[in-house]
Structure 1
Amino acid sequence: MMHPPHLLAQEPAAAAQPKGLPRPWWEGRPFVAAMILLALLPLLYPTVPPLVDIGGHMGRYKIALDLEHSATLQQWFTFRWLPIGNLGVDLLVVPLGRIIGLEPATKLIVMAIPAMTVAGMLWVAREVHNRLPPTAAFALPLAYGHPFLFGFVNFSLSMALALLAFGLWLRLGRLGKSKLRALLFVPISFVVFFAHTFGWGTLGLLCFSAEAVRQHDRGRRWWISILRAAWHALAMIGPAILILLWRSDATGGITDRWFDWGFKWEYLLRMFRDRWEVYDIASATIALAIPLFALVHPRLTLSRNLAFSGLVLAATYVLLPRIVFGSAYADMRLVPFAVAMFILAIRFKAETRFPLASWLAVAAVAFMLVRIGGNTISLWTAGARQERQLGALDHVPTGSRVAVLVWDQCEQWAHRRSDHLGAMATVRREAYTNDHWPMVGSSLLTVTYPRAGFYQSDPSQIVRDRGCLHEGWWTKTALIHLPRQAFDYLWLLDMAPIPREWVDGWQPVWASEGSILLKRSGGEERPPG
């Protein structure tokens, strides 16, 4: 397999800056530290990270943390630990939560994920190019990509760990320490796997693709290089045994929606999806254009090492269905990381041209600042609104049963961050809410409250207007069918104005911006859960 020399650079990487000469500012440790610290900023203020799914995750953390000692929670939930590939933040937050509290522990861990992702990207770029290319910062805002903002925190943690591990893999390969690398990556593969299976799979693909290029650059034919790369990557095969055991014990979980080209195109445009559609799509366009610019520029090119890794991830994205073992958005999750590989692959064909490099570095950092600034405004705004909405919980007694309904504004670009906010009633009041979900393909968390019927768990909390393209309850229908005797409170979040008769039998208790709490009036005494 041959690559035109004007498109992809031949490895090995360019030499580092000669000793005695000052490093360009984008290669120094202060720059690296600044980029990592900057990634902490968007989540510094909000008490609860305003990510779409985080409330549901925190409800599960609360159950895992306190179920054994809480007769209240035991009425509705059971929880058992299993050695599955979806435990990342859970395993960290439970011990840390016992020390500093559940909410601070969750915030610290979730806030660290983008910073770790940025550190991993920079390490990978440094190992491949033997220096940090001036364009590297164009990739860094992808740490706040669509999957992270959606609240896929176990997945995002596993990908951050995978990038850091990939940096180590590249470094040990460059130093010729293949035996040490094989020994280290046996436990490392299990760490990444337990965070999330997806990260483990991605790490395997990255390491295999990079090793294949390294073997080829040592003069071997491509088919021999691929075989040798597969042999080296076998050091990470151990978790496959756990996957076989896990899937044999799994409950439900379909795999569906192959080659859904409409969504695959949309996910490219949505890689930065946060709040402002034009701004986010423009950012995605820039991220996609930067590697193309490098391919056509006479002085720039792509490293074959990372370009090949990017192509492997891109091919995996094309081949993956939307739903894997019941887990939705499986293919979407890869987009920011595939794009990041192509951006990190950019380099100069020969020696660095510093006037051009300086302009590229300034543009890249400007892009990073603009994106992180936008994320900061968006998440701080969402965090403040979230705290006002959570004021409802001051009026909910401990151990209550709360029916939560969240209005879905169809086809809205901005993330609806209240989808699982209701589960914070479990976190702060040990209450039952209908927006918990058993972890897909496992039986760690089980919700048992048959009196609630359909309203026992997610997605019963999502209601929509008629004419919405997505499936789900119409708001009036949801309120009519709600088994009122099964709940003490009705909590409406981000609801459009509705007629008063739709909530007959419920008395308003408290209201704030986008949050209305009603209490069931009259009726029988509350039975045990």
Structure 2
Amino acid sequence: MTDIPTRRIAFLLLACAVAPLLWPAIPPLNDLPGHIGRYHIAATLAQSPALQAHWRYEWALVGNLGVDLPAIALARVIGAEAAAKAIVILIPALFVGGLMMLTRARRLRVPPLIGFAATLAYGQAFQLGFVNFALAAALALWALATWIALAPRPTLRLMLLTPAACALWVAHSFGWGLFGLAAFAADTALRRERGRPWPRALIEAGMSCLPLALPILAMVSGHGGEAQPLAWDWRAKAVWVAGLLRDRWKWFDVASAILIAGLLWTAIRHRAFRFDPVLGAVAAILVAAFAMLPRLALGGAYVDMRMLAPALAVALIAVRVAEPRLTARLLLFGLAFLIVRTGATTASFAIVAQRQQAALHIVPAIPRGAAVLVLVNEPCASDWSSDRLGHLAGIAEVRRDIFDNGQWTIAGQQLLAHRHPLAAPYDRDPSQLVYRKACEYAPTDFAAAVRDADRRVFTHVWTIGFPARPSLAPNVIRVASDGPSTLYRIATGRAVNRLSHPAPTR
């Protein structure tokens, strides 16, 4: 073994990181189509009267722009769909690269469990399409590696990483929080290595990390958001652990999570293993954050779950084994596990991508600029797998400049807002999701939505995953059907823009 990951191992890790995303035209992550729609609207609003009738986009400094900023810029050149794929495919590679850089910063040998750690690039937050957070978390690993490597040069470290912390906050506020916690834990452990007693190490580390808290000023004085309560769900934390690598095949995904948990438990309990003190401290504080954080905070959901994959990935690369033969065996076992998981993820993504494309065949039948009530037959939240169709209407926003009811419009979190107050409550996510009555969560009733959607706004209904019918109501007539999608035209009434002020241009 060399002091840093060998080129062959690094190549294998990075190849596995990008492989599942190479074939699908649209990365089949749950929320991503909706994000792609937002990129398109922001990039082309000034040139599209149809979009101007439906949407407004007002720039502000918010902590949720990690993929938005480069995607919007790139969308003006190659289109929103291609821009999203080009950027999103880099996120798992950045995550794996960050893990390797952390190992290098500590001048340690190839981690025997690096293969297991690399699989967490496709953790549940990434699978759900939380791409701004996923990008921020991956970049936080690189920032943390720089923080550790530059510990002997504190002035240079602060000159470089104070603006980096601000950039991380712009990418995603939770990614910035992850970096801040990790930097504090790493600095404390580094000072303990130099013989500082615990109280002094904690105080000095806190003082050294204080400039990284600069984004708090933007949070206090910046773009105001909607009031969002804090909410803890302690039972859900066990679900997040079991769903660490949740994708399609429950038995396989749960078994993978159990294997990773078992390896870490063995490393904690067995004398043959030890943890690097600095990376171990980082992993410990991130696991503690997962345990203590709420599920809902600052307008964001799944706050605690987002921390789990980075925490366990750092814990895995922190593991050291004294016996060389056991190190080699664990390394090979981990790389084999990574290859198997990559193959399964690639197959799963191919299945989802095929089903998404089938649902999109109906899009050319949607009139350009239409206002569409989208209703998606969504599996229960407790169901393990999904075809990830819930935000597919975002692609119709790209291709047909439509208004639909599946975008996120939380002030302070997104810069996109719509121009149809009469559309409420069918004006934002999750009003497009229709669950079975047996599900534990059911925000929208299919019949009520068709009946109550305002005819002065909506011109069409697009159902996904429901049987095609000649009509949904006397004035809601089928005009096209293809695969899981059916498009209906609302025969009475016309879409009316009740706003008297003109649509702004950017």
Q: TM-score, normalised by structure 1?
A: 0.90
Matched to 2:230, the amino acid is D
Q: 1:230 to 1:66 in 2, by over 3 A?
A: same
- Superposition pairs for residues 1-400 of structure 1, below 5 Å? 23=2, 27-128=5-106, 130-173=108-151, 176-246=152-222, 249-258=223-232, 260-348=233-321, 350=322, 353-400=323-370
Kept in 1, the 8 Å contact 2:376–2:390? The answer is: yes
Q: CA deviation at 1:165?
A: 0.9
Which 5+ residue runs of structure 1 have no aligned equivalent?
Answer: 1-16, 18-22
Matched to 2:421, the amino acid is P
Q: Quick one: distance in 1 between partners of 2:135 and 2:496?
A: 41
Q: 1:440 to 1:383 in 2, by over 3 A?
A: farther
Q: What SS does the corresponding residue of 2:424 show, helix, strand or coil? A: helix
Q: What SS does the corresponding residue of 2:429 show, helix, strand or coil? A: coil
Q: CA deviation at 1:270?
A: 1.0
Q: What SS does the corresponding residue of 2:296 show, helix, strand or coil? A: coil
Q: Quick one: distance in 1 between partners of 2:93 and 2:175?
A: 17
Q: 1:518 to 1:456 in 2, by over 3 A?
A: same
Q: Quick one: distance in 1 between partners of 2:405 and 2:443?
A: 15
Q: CA deviation at 1:501?
A: 6.3
Q: Which residue of 1 aligns with 2:429?
A: 458
Q: What SS does the corresponding residue of 1:455 show, helix, strand or coil? A: coil
Q: CA deviation at 1:127?
A: 2.3
Q: What SS does the corresponding residue of 2:301 show, helix, strand or coil? A: coil
Q: Quick one: distance in 2 between partners of 1:440 and 1:28?
A: 47
Q: Which residue of 1 aligns with 2:502?
A: none
Superposed CA deviations along residues 467-506 of structure 1, whole A, max 9, x for unmatched, are: 32113123223223233453222111123x4876644433
Kept in 2, the 8 Å contact 1:189–1:236? The answer is: yes
Matched to 2:183, the amino acid is C
Two-structure CA RMSD over aligned residues (Å):
1.9
Q: Which residue of 2 aligns with 1:523?
A: 492
Matched to 2:433, the amino acid is I
The answer to whether residue 389 in structure 2 is matched with residue 418 in structure 1 is yes
Q: CA deviation at 1:511?
A: 2.5
Q: What SS does the corresponding residue of 2:85 show, helix, strand or coil? A: helix
Kept in 2, the 8 Å contact 1:129–1:347? The answer is: no
Superposed CA deviations along residues 278-332 of structure 1, whole A, max 9, x for unmatched, are: 1111111111111112233332211221221111111111221111022111111
Q: 1:425 to 1:219 in 2, by over 3 A?
A: same
Q: After the TM superposition, which segments of 4 or more aligned residues of structure 1 sit over 3 Å from their partners?
A: 497-504, 524-529
Identity between Structure 1 and Structure 2 (%): 34
Q: Which residue of 2 aligns with 1:479?
A: 450
Superposed CA deviations along residues 15-62 of structure 1, whole A, max 9, x for unmatched, are: xx6xxxxx49x9312211221122111111111111111122112111
Q: CA deviation at 1:376?
A: 0.7
Larger mean Cα displacement after TM superposition, 300-309 or 276-285: 300-309
Q: CA deviation at 1:159?
A: 0.3
Q: 1:413 to 1:297 in 2, by over 3 A?
A: same
Q: 1:412 to 1:443 in 2, by over 3 A?
A: closer
Larger mean Cα displacement after TM superposition, 458-467 or 364-373: 458-467
Larger mean Cα displacement after TM superposition, 466-475 or 96-105: 466-475
Larger mean Cα displacement after TM superposition, 144-153 or 319-328: 319-328
Q: CA deviation at 1:235?
A: 3.1
Larger mean Cα displacement after TM superposition, 44-53 or 510-519: 510-519
Kept in 2, the 8 Å contact 1:404–1:491? The answer is: yes
Q: What SS does the corresponding residue of 1:339 show, helix, strand or coil? A: helix
Matched to 1:469, the amino acid is E
Q: Quick one: distance in 2 between partners of 1:315 and 1:100?
A: 42
Q: 1:182 to 1:526 in 2, by over 3 A?
A: closer
Q: CA deviation at 1:171?
A: 1.6
Q: Which residue of 2 aligns with 1:14?
A: none
Q: 1:127 to 1:484 in 2, by over 3 A?
A: same
Kept in 2, the 8 Å contact 1:448–1:456? The answer is: no
Kept in 2, the 8 Å contact 1:125–1:136? The answer is: no
Q: What SS does the corresponding residue of 2:376 show, helix, strand or coil? A: strand
Matched to 2:239, the amino acid is E
Equivalent residues, number = 497
Q: Quick one: distance in 1 between partners of 2:269 and 2:425?
A: 56
Q: Quick one: distance in 1 between partners of 2:342 and 2:474?
A: 45
Superposed CA deviations along residues 349-396 of structure 1, whole A, max 9, x for unmatched, are: x4xx33212211111001111111111111111112111211111111
The answer to whether residue 412 in structure 2 is matched with residue 436 in structure 1 is no
Kept in 2, the 8 Å contact 1:250–1:443? The answer is: no
Q: TM-score, normalised by structure 2?
A: 0.94
Kept in 2, the 8 Å contact 1:426–1:432? The answer is: yes
Q: Quick one: distance in 2 between partners of 1:323 and 1:46?
A: 32
Kept in 2, the 8 Å contact 1:150–1:415? The answer is: no
